[in-house]
Amino acid sequence: MASLKKAESLFRRRKYPELISTLEPRIFQFRENPRFYFLLGVSCIETGDLAGAQSYLSRAVQLDPEDTDAMLALAVVHWRKREPSDALRCWLEALETDPKSRKAKAGLSLARRVAAPDELEPDERVRLTDRLVPRPISVSPWITRTLLFAAIIVTVVAVAPILEDAIRSRPRDEPREGIGMLDLSDVRSMTVDDAGAVRYVLTEPEIRDTVGTIGRYFNSFRDNMAILEMNRLLHSNASHAVKERIRMLRSYTRRPDFTSFSDNFSYRDVQTEPWLYDGVYIRWSGRIANLELDDDRITYRFLVGYHTDRVLEGTVDAVQHFAAALDPAVPVEVIARVEVIARDDDVRPEIRIEVTSLRFLAP
Instruction: Work out the mean pLDDT of the chain and round it to a whole number.
Output: 85
Does the reported pTM lie above 0.95? no
User: How far is the C-alpha of 144 from the C-alpha of 333, rounded, in Å?
Assistant: 39
Phi, psi of 100 (to 5 degrees): -95, 5
Q: What is the reported pLDDT for 263?
A: 95
Please report the sign of the dihedral spanned by the C-alpha atoms of residue 108, residue 112, residue 117, residue 120. negative
Banded model confidence at residue 259, pLDDT cuts 50, 70, 90: confident
Q: What is the reported pLDDT for 171?
A: 45
Residues 6+ positions from 243 with CB-CB distance below 8 Å: 233, 234
Are 248 and 239 in contact, with CB atoms under 8 Å apart? Answer: no
Rounded to a whole number of angstroms, the distance between the first and last alpha carbons of the chain is 29
pLDDT (mean) for 275-281: 96
**In 3-state terms, what secondary structure has residue 226?**
helix
What is the CATH code for 2-132? 1.25.40.10
User: How far is the C-alpha of 304 from the C-alpha of 300, rounded, in Å?
Assistant: 12
Q: What is the reported pLDDT for 179?
A: 86
Beta strands in 248-306, from DSSP E residues, in sequence order? 281-293, 298-304
pLDDT (mean) for 322-341: 90
pLDDT (tens digit per residue) in 292-319: 988 788 999 999 999 998 899 999 999 9
pLDDT (mean) for 250-260: 90
Q: Between 144 and 49, whose confidence is greater? A: 49
pLDDT (mean) for 347-353: 86
Q: What is the reported pLDDT for 123?
A: 86
Q: What is the reported pLDDT for 173?
A: 54
Residues 6+ positions from 208 with CB-CB distance below 8 Å: 184, 190
Among 128-137, 187-196, 262-271, which range has the highest average pLDDT? 262-271
What are the helix (H) ranges across 64-140? 68-80, 84-97, 102-113, 122-129
Angle at alpha carbon of residue 339, lines to 333 and 344, rounded to 5°: 140
Q: DSSP letters of 168-219?
A: HHS-SSPPPTTGGGG--TT-S-SB-TT--S-SB---HHHHHHHHHHHHHHHH
Q: What is the reported pLDDT for 168?
A: 44
Polymer length of the chain? 363
pLDDT (tens digit per residue) in 4-51: 899 999 999 999 999 998 998 887 778 889 999 999 999 999 998 888
pLDDT at 253 over 90: yes
267-360: CATH class: mainly beta
Banded model confidence at residue 162, pLDDT cuts 50, 70, 90: very low
pLDDT at 167 over 80: no
pLDDT above 70 covers a percentage of the chain that reads 86
Which is nearest to 350 in space by CA: 274, 248, 263, 241?
Answer: 274
Q: What is the reported pLDDT for 149?
A: 52
Residue extents of the structural domains in the chain: 2-132, 141-170, 179-250, 267-360
Q: What is the reported pLDDT for 195?
A: 58
Banded model confidence at residue 72, pLDDT cuts 50, 70, 90: very high
pLDDT at 161 over 70: no
Banded model confidence at residue 163, pLDDT cuts 50, 70, 90: very low
pLDDT at 337 over 80: yes
